[in-house]
């Protein structure tokens, strides 16, 4: 048999090339690093979403956003007493880019977390005002099928419809979706309008 002849194992089949020493450990380290990177990405995504939510909440209330700060060392402050009427921390925001002259279609849902009662809702849209320009968008916004019933432990999808005027300055426009009926609430809405591209 020649030196360049194919190696064969005892059964006569070609021998499998052997892995270089430490290949299993390298693969394990690579998978570990990928998992750490994925975990860091998820954490960053959650932080970004939290910051956007905080910013839009302050914009909807037309308050300047508070700067993030590190708590001072010392005893932890007492936890605030639970408040049954405290507002939830959520906001409706456009996911697709909006530009002056573009149509607006932003979907959102309202859920009924009660296990045995139907909620009757009437949904309307309140005015939008630019955070930096102070410009107001015209009152041409509405919600498709604004009167609905939401079954127990169910949700209904709504769509905010309207259009951005051609002469609207790029800005973040804060407004509200007003919910009336069996439950009364206002949901903050943020429409982010970019310059025409």
Assess whether pLDDT exceeds 50 at residue 124.
yes
Quick one: pLDDT at residue 90? 83
Assess whether pLDDT exceeds 80 at residue 120.
yes
CA-CA distance, 136 to 128, in Å (whole number)? 6
| Chain centre distance of CA 99 | 20
- Which domains, ranges and CATH numbers included, belong to the chain? 92-193 (2.60.40.10)
| Structure confidence at residue 108 as a pLDDT band (50, 70, 90) | very high
Question: 65-74, 110-119, 122-131: which has the minimum mean pLDDT?
Answer: 65-74
| Structure confidence at residue 182 as a pLDDT band (50, 70, 90) | confident
Give tens-digit pLDDT for 134-160: 999 998 999 999 999 999 999 999 999
Assess whether pLDDT exceeds 70 at residue 30.
no
Indicate the pTM of the whole model: 0.56
Q: What are the CA-CA distances from residue 152 to residues 79, 91, 148, 178 (Å)?
A: 32, 23, 13, 21
Average pLDDT for the chain: 76
| Structure confidence at residue 133 as a pLDDT band (50, 70, 90) | very high
CA-CA distance, 85 to 22, in Å (whole number)? 60
Quick one: pLDDT at residue 172? 96
Closest CA to 135 of 98, 167, 105: 167
Quick one: pLDDT at residue 58? 58
Report the side by side order of strands in the sheet with 142-143.
103-112, 154-163, 142-143
Give tens-digit pLDDT for 153-174: 999 999 999 999 999 999 999 9
> What's the helix, strand, coil split of the chain in %, to 5?
20, 30, 50
Of all residues in the chain, the percent with pLDDT exceeding 90 is 51
- pLDDT mean over 189-197: 91
First-residue to last-residue Cα distance in the chain: 72
Vertex 12 angle, CA 11 and 16, to 5° = 90
Assess whether pLDDT exceeds 80 at residue 72.
no
């Amino acid at each position: 048999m020649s030196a360049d002849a194919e190696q064969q194992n005892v059964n006569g089949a070609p021998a499998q090339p052997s892995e270089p020493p430490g290949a299993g450990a390298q693969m394990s380290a690579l998978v570990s690093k990928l998992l750490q990177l994925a975990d860091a990405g998820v954490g960053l995504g959650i932080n970004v979403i939290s910051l956007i939510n905080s910013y839009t909440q302050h914009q909807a209330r037309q308050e300047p956003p508070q700067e993030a700060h590190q708590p001072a060392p010392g005893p932890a402050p007492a936890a605030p007493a639970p408040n049954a009427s405290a507002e939830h921390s959520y906001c409706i925001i456009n996911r697709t880019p909006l530009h002056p002259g573009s149509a607006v279609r932003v979907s959102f849902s309202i859920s009924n977390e009660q296990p045995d009662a139907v909620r009757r809702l009437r949904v309307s849209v309140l005015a939008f005002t630019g955070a930096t320009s102070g410009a107001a968008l015209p009152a041409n916004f509405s919600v498709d099928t604004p009167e609905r019933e939401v079954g127990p432990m169910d949700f209904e999808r709504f769509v905010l419809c309207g259009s951005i005027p051609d002469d609207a300055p790029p800005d973040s426009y804060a407004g509200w979706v007003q919910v009336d009926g069996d439950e009364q609430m206002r949901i903050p809405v943020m429409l982010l309008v970019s310059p025409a591209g």
